[in-house]
Every structure is written in structure tokens, then in C-alpha cells.
Amino acid sequence: MSVQSLMVPIGTPAPDFSLPDLDGQPHTRADYADGPGLLVIFACNHCPYVRHLESKLGEVLGTLTIPAVAICTNDADAYPDDAPEHLRAQADRAGWKFPYLIDETQQVGRAFRASCTPDFFLYDARLELAYRGAFDESTPGNGKPVTGNELRAAAEAVRTGAPVPEPHRLSMGCSIKWRA
């Protein structure tokens, strides 16, 4: 069953976080405090919505000047395909050059109000939310090409200091797999 993003209000400050990447190196919000912004992507390995766009995501993010991190918040005990070794295989397969962080306690996912994978949160240079929504209009089976155009346009607006025009298309995907 697919769910949609919660559409956190524009201007909301990025929640504080400190999470390890796949190599155990910590990444924090403070690492990105000096601009030019930050893209936070809630992702996982098992979700067909993420798999649908993962290669194009790697390609598009390779062209952006705004740093990005992916965060896996899913319960890897219940969904073993989302365990770190499988996330590493996904990052390699998709050509992701950005950090993939593990939110084992799920506190960061809750702080961001992430609801689905993929769920995109783009913050401006002040780390205030400028865009939350979809990568583009493509979803598995709808026949529309995976382009990343909506996220790319939002990132360009953030890069130039302009507001991202609303409405933002809701991100749609698999629900975050929360622990009971």
C-alpha cells in the first residue's frame, strides 16, 4: 500500500540529527550549517518506489550543488533487505555518491515527520524547509519517465535563493516501517 508525504510546513527548521553512515562515520545537521542547503531523502532498499528512481536519483544528485544524505529509518529487523549491507549494495547499484545514514532508533525519521520512501526534504542555506515532495511525476507502473525534474527545479531555486513555487507534488511510496 502506498502512502504520501505529510507536507511539513515550508520554513520548518531542519531537525537536529547525528547518524552514522554505512562506514560508521557520523553525520550531523551541523555539518551542513554553512550552506548552501541540504537535501534529506528518506529511502530504503526494499521499496519498489525507491528502486524505480534510484539510478536517476544518483545521476541527478551528481549534477546538483546542494549536498544530500539518504536516511534509512526502516526497521531492519522486520525488513532485512533494509539492513546496512543491503543498503550498501543499493548505493553501489544506483551510483549514489552521497552518504547513506542509518536511523536505527527511528528518532530522526520521526523528527523529520517522514512518512514514506522516498520522501524528499530540501532545505535552504539557513536549513529551513524550502521543498518537500516528489522527485518527479513518475511512479512504478504509471508510464511516465523518471526525470527528477521537480526536485531539480526545486534545487535550482534554492541554489539561487528563490522560493520554490507551490504547490509541491506529494511524494508517494512505501510507508516507513516503524517498530511497534
In tens, the pLDDT along 56-106 reads: 999 999 999 999 999 999 999 999 999 999 999 999 999 999 999 999 999
**Three-state DSSP state, 89:** helix
Name the strand (E) or helix (H) holding 119: strand 119-123
Count of Cβ atoms closer than 10 Å to residue 178 Cβ: 13
Q: Is residue 75 within 8 Å of residue 109, measured between CB atoms?
A: no
pLDDT of res. 90: 97
In tens, the pLDDT along 9-38 reads: 999 999 999 999 999 999 999 999 988 999
Phi/psi of residue 164, nearest 5 degrees: -85, 120
In tens, the pLDDT along 80-92 reads: 999 999 999 999 9
Among candidates 24, 119, 130, which has minimal Cα distance to 74?
Answer: 119
Cα 162 to Cα 37: distance, rounded to the nearest angstrom:
12
Count of Cβ atoms closer than 10 Å to residue 26 Cβ: 11
pLDDT of res. 76: 95
120-131 average pLDDT score = 96
pLDDT of res. 1: 60
For the cut 90, the answer to whether the pLDDT of residue 145 exceeds it is: yes
pTM attached to this predicted model: 0.96
